[in-house]
Chains A and B, each alone.
Chain A
Amino acid sequence: MNRGEMEQKIVDTLSKNKEAAGSYISLIQSKVAEKTEQQLKYVLSHTTENIFLEACAGSGKTEVVGLKTAYEISKWYSKNKGIAVLTFTNEATDTIKERVKLFSGLTTLYPHYIGTLTGFIHGFVAQSFGYKYFKHKNRGGDTSYRLIDKNLDVHGNHWLKKYKLPYMNLNSMGPDVYANQIYYNYKINDFVIYYSENYKLPLKEYYQLTEVQEFIQNFRKKNGNNQLLGFDFIKKEIKKVKQTFLTDGFANFEDINNIAYYVLKKNVRIASLIAARFPVIIIDECQDLSWIEINILNQLKDSGSTLHFVGDLNQSIYEFKDANPATTKDYLSGFKRYFLTDNFRSCDSIVNTSNKLLGITLPIRGLAADKMGDKSVCYLEYHDLTSLNQKYLDFLERNDIPFNRSAILVRQQTLKEEFETNSKESIHPILDALQLWIENTPKSRKLALELASKHMQRWFGGAKTRNNYYCPNAIDSVYRWRIFIKDFLEGCSAVSDLVKFDGINYSTWYKNFNNHFLHIIQEAYKDLLRFDSEKRDFKDIPKMISPRGTAKVRITAYNTTDRINLVSIHTIHSVKGKDFDSVMVVSSRRNAGSGHWKQWIEKELESGRIGYVANTRAKYSLVWGVPVLKKEEREMLEYYGFKRAD
């Protein structure tokens, strides 16, 4: 089939069965005409065949998935079976939905399902059928599992005490471990103890720890029985508690996946039914799939679903969630491969450097406009972050790149925080909010509400999310909460002592604030009272004092324009799928972990892929911010195509 024929087939299929409005047809025609041959080929690929579409960064993958889905839906026959398109984020789901609606001209997508993989596994498998296999005790006619975070702390959640695991406090990690902190790993057939995102320990390794072994040996000696506290015994004891946790209807994220895996493995009928409901499953960003997720999908494949994996293994950066590109690659070896190798996001020199850094051999081309010539890929050396920040701003200004379309990317949260403090993250939230409020522009007032609410939610026991201005859990109306913050700020503005900023030092302002605080908040609270499920007494809130080192300092006017125009700072993991005109990737000072630039030139490690993800966010300007270099280091960078920026 030549290109023209392919285009025609897609356009014909998409405009079939519709009162083909001219505008719709011409939209489809122009959209299809834009596509590369590789993209068209995938759209026309078979849904009876398992496929891996290897799509490089910036290859218009999401658009292609949208078009593919719309194309299949347009020729779909069944009224109760459908295609499942699974993504990793709600944002991605929304984008794909929007594209599919645009391309297909449909407003409802049933019987097809476009949603997150997690939602799919939870909603169609684990929550629906898990109760039968894990003895859910049924809460008032509901067998849902309540999702419990692995990081949930027993302080303030005393109910967790019922699920304390035995023999878990024998090592220097110290504290007790509860059932929400462990999960079974089917890959290694062992429990994994979760201490933090960065520290997880299989039970077997825990058992072998010197301190644990010492305890066991002493215990055996004391009791004169060297069979006591064997590994299998302890494993069984832990399993019992975990089972109670599940029976009571609680589960952590991994448990839910395990439940789904187990249900599908144990009950072929359920697996076949879900496979019949979704004969085609397309997975976007397949490089993020964990071992268990791949195995869940594989059960569906074995029961009759066709799988289309779409993604870029070079962008696999979720090792800590058990996503391993080698495993995925192995699994996909039996799949038919399709490719998207044209990068429309970045210019060719950025693509070249990124490919070279990771040792990619696939012929990926950068097709975006090159606006900077040999300054497209640069580096900046730094002593301290403040000056680096300034250098980057200067660089952007010099090259006429808008601040708001640029970003600073870092690997670790800690480095991000350091940057943010340097860029004057407010340490006087209420005072700054008040200044912004008085400034009275839509932008400044919005920022004022954000700042104030972020601080004030703590007085109400905390918020679940930052949505809705951190509306606390106990408040029923997000709308009223916002009004309350407004009332509070207005209350402050009405007090003349609090709106005098010139020539006053911080400690004076805080003293004034504390004098008026109770009255202001009680007034504002009157209207919120009705929507609060808890009783409050604001008398117990500790007085605010000026932060360390600022007491005698004069209040500086809070200048919003500065802040708003500053370049945003992100962690690399949070910018997947996004793009910026210019990106500065900042290396940590010390070469440890995956945050240092030397780790980013590793070809086989995850750190290399993390660097790759960061580099490929840039459209036409990539800058590396690195600690002061030695000569040979400088040469190494320049070998990869980096030029000095200053």
Chain B
Amino acid sequence: MYISRLNISGYKNCKENSEVRLNKGLNVLVGENGSGKTTIVNALRLILRENEFSYMNIDEDDFYISLDKQYSAPDIRIDLTLDSLSSDEQVTFLTWCDADFKAQLHLEVNSNPNRKGYYKKEIWGGASKSSIFEEETFDCIECIYLPPLRDAEEKLVNGKRSRLAQLLKKQYGDNKDSLVKNVTDFNFQITSNAEKKYNEIESAKININAKLEEALGQRLGQSINLQFAETTFNKIVESIKMVFFPGVQQSDPNKFRDIATNSLGYNNLLYIATVFAELELLKDNNMMTVLLIEEPEAHLHPQLQVKFIKYLEEVTRKLENLQVVITTHSPVLASSIDINNLIHITQREDRIIATPLKEIDLGESKNYINRWLDVTKSTLLFSKGIILVEGISEAMLLPTFAKIVLAQYNKTALANSETLLPTSLEEAGVSTININGINFKHFMKLFSNCDGSSSGVHLPIFCSGITDNDPPKLKILVYDEKGELKKDKDDEPLTTLQDIFPLPNESPVGGNSALNLIEDINKSTWGRLFSSPLKTFEYDLAINGNTSLMARIIHDIWPAEGTVKKRCISIFEKDNEYAGDEQGLKEDAEYLFKHINVDEIGKGIYAQKLTEYLESQIQGHLDAINDNKSNIMEVYENISKIMNIPDYIRKAIIWACGGGER
């Protein structure tokens, strides 16, 4: 049996019915802050009565309230559907069963509290409220919750709320008598000073009693006894304390230290290990257990995070009745498990949208993504928007270009009193992700149907891709010095391949296989793929009115004096003015293109220098914003003039920032 579906409405940030479909075994909820991951976990705790006594009496804040405070939900409704009940579970959970033998559990809380301010919870099982519900069935389902940023130390040392005590209580079950007897016997030895071994305690006791009598007299006096500790089972277990040794297989008890001296991270793990030991006991009693862990990455370094999640993956595979729900912000965690276990959570229009990655039709791409979804790429799961790019240059330059594009966009929007977009990708929560090549089809399937995939489920995140047109090289016959056609040994004419450098008004057919995806992707709700119209990123950039600026950068970083620098100066000085001399423009762009990806500079260095230059320009303008922001239009205007961003890049940025197709 496992929870296959959770529906929430009226609770926290869910106004409308939000449906979360869960997997058997391990579920990892990923998503940006405020997307509703904790709401999901709390809804589960609420309906499964995790810690009924100390936690979660509903209060006013639990009911959904719209941002303008005009609307508040009349009731909270949480519904669980559980699937795949064994025949034994069908009998146990008969009162939760519907006519299709799925189990349903419902919770409804009306927003009118009674006179004491207590909100009445109505719980029922199955499809109808009027069927019989047996409270005791809750004893057959266990919910364990591990909060984020645990104070592990508090829960591991002794005391009532100690997790350790809970483990020991479960471990002992009904066989607690011998432990109680041993401790009681020991206590008796102390209090009776057996074999005169405890003379010091005995004399202390006598002294205190004597002083009591002196001070209070015989009538009012009391007497005391000294003993080791209390001897009820619960008290004994609660006073057992955990100590640790850094390293395994240490048996000398003297070497163990108090856990207060241990690191936060390790204490956290000790704590979790205690819970896992509790899970181990479940194997025998066959009871359904739901383990909820919030942000397990807290205090753990990346390697430990990976180890931890791998262990959980294994435990859930082995324990049939264990279902685990984890929330995380850690790309390390997200990238270390099978994507079938990932559920993307986001908030849209007052509801939580939960997208199990398992349900997206990824076809063959699933293997590819499982293999290549590394820490950097898995940030896409935590973004509000995504720009996929082919290489390092784009990855470096796009965040800077975005500032220019967004300044331009917002200037127009301001002029027309329209909604503004954020001013940078960071502010927009948009990640630029370098996929190192043109394998857009694998990633784009997460957001749209393409490359033969077809499913109704996609990640509801605006995602754009930028790719190069890459027209195929021309095949050219090779002639020797005398002007004669060269032939190879089979007497076929010898050919060579030559780059082409199209003009802005040409539209050369691209050779990039990703271009075939554009049509399908652009039909989708969330994905868009844009390509450079002419050749490649740098070439298209240059020819789009940026030769002067780009020449200047090459000039500044070219290592040797000479023709290159001279030519760059001459291009720079043209100041992008070609007055119809298209051939001249093409030649300059070609020249720049050929002097970027060369040993003397390299694409990476060039992109870095250009970024630095643009950033300093942008910053200069931003610094000019006055206190009352009255000159903001002017500043946006100035920023948008720093560089002419090609249209296809502009579109990609606006799309990813949620500005639609503008």
Contact = CB atoms under 8 A, between A and B. Distances in A.
Interface stretch (A142-150, A238-246, A422-430, A597-605): A142-150
Given A128-B127, A270-B99, A123 B132 contact: yes
Contacts of B414: none
Contacts of B134: 110-111
B106 interface: yes
A127 interface: yes
A55 B88 CA distance: 36
A144 B91 contact: no
B91 A80 contact: yes
B97 A128 contact: yes
B129 interface: yes
Nearest to A109: B136
Given A129-B99, A270-B99, A80 B92 contact: yes
A145 B94 CA distance: 19
A265 to B, nearest CB: 14
Most A-side CB within 10 Å, residue of B90, B98, B128, B131: B128
A253 to B, nearest CB: 13
Contacts of A276: 87, 90-91
Nearest to B130: A144
A103 B108 CA distance: 38
A609 interface: no
A631 interface: no
Nearest to B9: A141
A42 interface: no
A267 B106 CA distance: 25
Interface string B84-113: 000110111011011111000010000000
A124 interface: yes
Contacts of B95: 123-124, 128
Contacts of A634: none
B136 A110 contact: yes
Interface string A350-374: 0000000000000000000000000
Contact of A123 (B91, B99, B131): B131
Contact of A144 (B79, B98, B128, B140): B128
A122 B130 contact: yes
B88 A128 contact: no
A208 B446 CA distance: 71
Contacts of A119: 132
A108 interface: yes
A564 B128 CA distance: 46
B554 to A, nearest CB: 67
Given A128-B95, A277-B91, A80 B129 contact: no
Contacts of A130: 128
A80 B88 contact: yes
B94 A277 contact: yes
Contact of B136 (A111, A136, A267): A111
B45 interface: no
A142 B128 contact: yes
Nearest to B75: A140
Contact of A145 (B77, B106, B130): B130
A273 B127 contact: no
A224 to B, nearest CB: 48
Contacts of B90: 273, 276
Contacts of B527: none
A142 to B, nearest CB: 5
A269 B94 contact: no
B99 A273 contact: no
A136, A143, A267 — which one has the most chain B CB atoms within 10 A of its CB? A143
Interface in B327-375: none
B136 A143 contact: no
Given A141-B77, A269-B101, A128 B140 contact: no
B91 A124 contact: no
Nearest to A138: B127
A516 interface: no
Contact of B99 (A124, A132, A138): A132
A445 interface: no
B132 A142 contact: no
A618 B131 CA distance: 40
A138 B79 CA distance: 15
A277 B132 CA distance: 13
B136 A108 contact: yes
B98 A129 contact: yes
A309 interface: no
B99 A142 contact: no
A142 B91 contact: no
Contacts of B130: 122-123, 127, 144-145
Nearest to A276: B91
Interface string B66-88: 00000000000101000000011
A100 to B, nearest CB: 16
B99 A127 contact: no
Contacts of A277: 91, 94
A130 B95 CA distance: 14
Contacts of A470: none
B31 interface: no
Contacts of A81: 91
A640 B128 CA distance: 55
A142 B88 CA distance: 26
Contacts of B132: 113, 119-120, 123-124, 127-128
B533 interface: no
A274 interface: yes
Contact of B128 (A131, A267, A273): A131
- Residue in B127, B134, B140 with the greatest tally of chain A CB atoms within 10 Å: B127
Contacts of A108: 136
A123 B106 CA distance: 16
A273 B91 contact: yes
Nearest to A269: B101
B131 A128 contact: yes
A270 B77 CA distance: 28
A269 B102 CA distance: 13
Nearest to B79: A141
B126 interface: yes
A145 B129 CA distance: 9
B6 to A, nearest CB: 14
A267 B94 contact: no
B574 to A, nearest CB: 71
Interface in A256-279: 263, 267, 269-270, 273-274, 276-277
A63 to B, nearest CB: 26
A185 to B, nearest CB: 24
A182 B106 CA distance: 33
Nearest to A81: B91
A67 B22 CA distance: 47
Contacts of A123: 95, 130-132
A225 B484 CA distance: 107
Interface in B129-148: 129-132, 134, 136, 140
Given A123-B130, A128-B128, A141-B77, A267 B92 contact: no
A269 B91 CA distance: 11
A438 to B, nearest CB: 32
Contacts of B106: 141
B131 A127 contact: yes
Contacts of A144: 128-131
A130 B79 CA distance: 20
A131 B98 CA distance: 9
A416 to B, nearest CB: 33
Contacts of B99: 128-129, 131-133, 263, 267, 270
B593 to A, nearest CB: 63
A136 B136 CA distance: 28
A80 B95 CA distance: 11
20 contacts: A79-B92, A80-B140, A113-B132, A122-B130, A123-B95, A124-B95, A127-B128, A128-B97, A128-B98, A128-B132, A129-B99, A130-B128, A132-B100, A138-B127, A141-B77, A141-B106, A144-B128, A144-B129, A273-B101, A277-B91
List the 10 closest A-B pairs by CB distance, nearest first.
A123-B132, A132-B99, A144-B130, A110-B136, A80-B92, A128-B131, A144-B128, A127-B131, A127-B130, A143-B128
